[in-house]
Amino acid sequence: MKAARLLPILAIVALFTFTSCAKDNTEEEALNSIEVPVAPEAKSIEIEIMELINAYRINEGLNALNNHNTVKAVASTHTEYMIEVNNVSHDNFFLRKQSLQANASANIVTENVGYGFSSAESVVNAWIASPSHRENIEGNYTDFDVSAEQNSAGKWYFTNIFIKR
């Protein structure tokens, strides 16, 4: 009689156990299959932003960062998103982070975003003047890249992502 009562309980426990294992594998497979778009060719404003950030880092006694095409591709998709929704944000940062962990071997990922600045110098100076943005610029990273795009009104949107591999 006791065995008959335990059988349904054991079946439920087994169901949850097997479901949990299957879910972990599915999540891992999904993470590893995140596709990265092709990085667009660097614009002169983007190159200048990276040069200014590296010059600032070197002046602060920090290592220069390497540009990274996968980081650029991911940054570009976010810049396009911000233009599409007409809002500067860190929306869906966790997806960018997961993509860079899976596709660029990133251990740490941070980003700076900006809007409306008319030059590389003005956006970099604004980031340096902001404690939280400056912290990202001065962080212990290995690679970075930036995306700068103009909306239909000619206003610039910026996404600058830093990673440590």
What are the pLDDT digits (tens) for 57-96? Answer: 999 999 999 999 999 999 999 999 999 999 999 999 999 9
90-138 pLDDT, tens digit per residue, is 999 999 999 999 999 999 999 999 999 999 999 999 999 999 999 999 9
Q: Which residue bears the tokens 């940062």?
A: 93
Output the pTM of the full model: 0.78
CA distance 17 to 20: 5
Q: Say how many C-beta atoms besides its own lie within 10 A of residue 160's C-beta.
A: 27
Share of the chain above pLDDT 90, in %: 74
pLDDT band at 5 (very low <50, low <70, confident <90, very high): low
Pairing relation of β-strands 66-67 and 143-150? parallel
Specify the pLDDT at position 23.
33
Q: Where are the alpha helices (DSSP H) in the chain?
A: 2-32, 44-59, 69-85, 93-103, 120-129, 131-137
**Residue 136 CA: distances (Å) to CA of 29, 47, 78:** 30, 18, 17
Which of 49, 66, 56 has its CA nearest to residue 146? Answer: 49
- CATH topology assigned to domain 66-164: Pathogenesis-related Protein p14a (3.40.33)
Beta carbons within 8 Å of 122's beta carbon, 6+ residues apart: none
- What does the mean pLDDT of the chain come to? 85
